[in-house]
Structure 1
Amino acid sequence: MSIDRILDKAVAGRRIDVEECVTLFESDQVEKIGQAANLVMQRWNPEPITTFVVGRNINYTNICDVYCRFCAFYRAPGKEDGYVLPTETILQKIQETVDVGGTEILMQGGTNPNLPFTYYTDLLREIKRHFDITMHSFSPAEIMKMVEVSGGLSLEEVIRQLKEAGLDSIPGGGAEILDDRTRSKISKLKGSWRDWMNVMQTAHGLGMNTTATMVIGFGESMEERALHLLRVRDAQDDCLEKGLPSKGFLAFIPWTFQPDNTNLKKERATPEEYLKTLAISRLMIDNVPHFQSSWVTMGPEVGKLSLSYGADDFGSTMMEENVVSAAGATHKVNIELIIRLIREAGKIPAQRNTKYEILKIFGETASVDKDFVMQN
């Protein structure tokens, strides 16, 4: 079946449906799909600028009672190698981030049943007392655990208190596949796709921005992938149509399941499958402004190539990352390498903050500070 009609439709700004999305996933015309996604990306981001954020992942605990089959990072409660980082260690890691010009902390861990809700609010307040840094932290699953241990607080009240304590935005981790058939196979204790979305939509209602993710390679069907994209698009529609004090999902980040050291034995998705998924996501989700490259799982060279398949952002420098690394993804990059890779892709590198506001544009040979912050 020719996919030209579907691609022309998306490039023209008309929405594609689930059936058309499945047709694209079943196609082997990866380059053609990528070209269309690149045109859509350029409509959103007409300047040849690729952004990145200087940030650090801090995995504050590895204790988790959800037992996802695809995770090589977690340790069950009571295990000897389980940990909770001391607050002093967390503050030291943030200081190291600030010292190199970092602006974002992505703090995530397991769903630790031994930590009371006050642990999170006290920690956020302590961080904000020492640092002016954006806390883009805690996945929906962690927030649902906070609701569970809070002693009767509602989801809305938990997020409100987190925000008041210093949480700035919520990352999209834990989405995996937003369909309950696959979720029940790989992570049946983690909650339904609706649970994940409820956290995000509640945060949007409270004025917080978030991101959304998708992980492929669990054995999910092409229809489930398409439904995942549709559900993100529908939730973004809901946020924008209601005129909420939030921009909803600022970015979408797809990546591939990393099988090493996990209890879920699947073949690693190919770079072609990743690039096709990224491109289709950009075509299907027509209301989210930014799409991130996933160099952490795919490597810097595929990350560079993704900038021709719909991505306009290179993600975070990720000074520290332990979760996907535990499953065999060992790619690391620094600021200099990110700048070089973006230039090699024919783009202009620029450092951004979590809100996708550009802080610094890098010239051909040296960084060029701008006297203004331009909204991207």
Structure 2
Amino acid sequence: MALEPRTERQKAAIEEVETYGAHNYSPLPVVISAAKGVHVTDLDGTTYIDCLSAYSAVNFGHGHPALLAAAEAQLARVTLTSRAFYSEPFGPFVKALAALCGKEMVLPMNTGVEAVETAIKAARKWGYESKGVAEGRAKIIVMEGNFHGRTTTVISFSNDPEARKSYAPYTPGFVQVPFGDADAIEDAIDDDTVAVLFEPIQGEAGVIVPPEGFLTKVREITRRRGVLMIADEIQAGLGRSGATFACDREGVVPDVYILGKALGGGIMPLSAVVADRDVLGLFQPGQHGSTFGGNPLACAIGSAVIELLGSGELQERSRVLGERFRAGLQPLLDAGWATEVRQAGLWLGVDVNPDLGTAKEICYRLMEREVLAKDTHGHTIRFAPPLVITEDQIDQVVAHTITAFEQAATQVR
């Protein structure tokens, strides 16, 4: 099933993008022109419930008043100084983020993958300068099915053929093990291992939640074997999984947090690596940086994001409403229309029975019913609405989703 843009106006806007923009994404055929809260509006005034939240970058909803106020106030003052000088919002932001994470230092960057690259550099530097690994021999253990971005280094340890094809030669120094298998991690550690890098919940893979106790075991193993535990919480963190961090679900604190997406409130790119001084304190001037990293505008917004998370209300909403969402989708499993539904907070992965078609085809049907979600890996639909969504809106999405699956099943019959 394909879906054409609803009007000639949107068709023209899409053709312009497809003509002049590189084709590195395959968007749904809708052109968004405005957004507020959980809703986005297209060029022709049709309003949709956003169930993707820009891959969790818009956790707090589009145009959250507290975040807009922080952005507007800073926008009128100063937006960029580079790190050649200090800026007023930088100190309060890194102090607040360090406190949120229970760590001593913060290294801000812009995009999520920049933060992943930064964490890799930090882990190798720690391995050479603190652990005593011989230069050039550092290894980092990663998980099968991982998604940490698409830079050359990061795709070197991906097993997604779409991400890897035609980009060799690849960067060495990574060992891949099955996600969720703590024993495999322990077996892979040797004297040259400096870190274990993982997503506590694999988002791009389809909201894959590891077996209960996995994070606890990884924490015990890494501490005992003297390697860093690095948690990529770029998608899973900052309330998405029903807790501030997905690692909180097992009461685990990693050595290094990698944060991004929602940290910028859906307004500015903002990411960060957060760790104690024995890791991040190894960086010296000139050894790592970014012109825009930690810019005043992003830092002001980031501080407002941290303040929003302070009460725990959004995390609790994510947990409670996520359970409501999951319960509402049970009929999909009962009817055999979905083969699995995975859920962590307001983050769900729904595997479509292949007899009904592809996940993208179901997303087309949802779009026709004014719900926007996104497929991944052909058979999984990801739902990640803003954490400010209401019970009634959850129920609307559930009803539309069941109808979309039912229509697909009817057509197959």
Q: When the two structures are superposed, what TM-score results if normalisation uses the length of structure 2? A: 0.30
Larger radius of gyration: 2
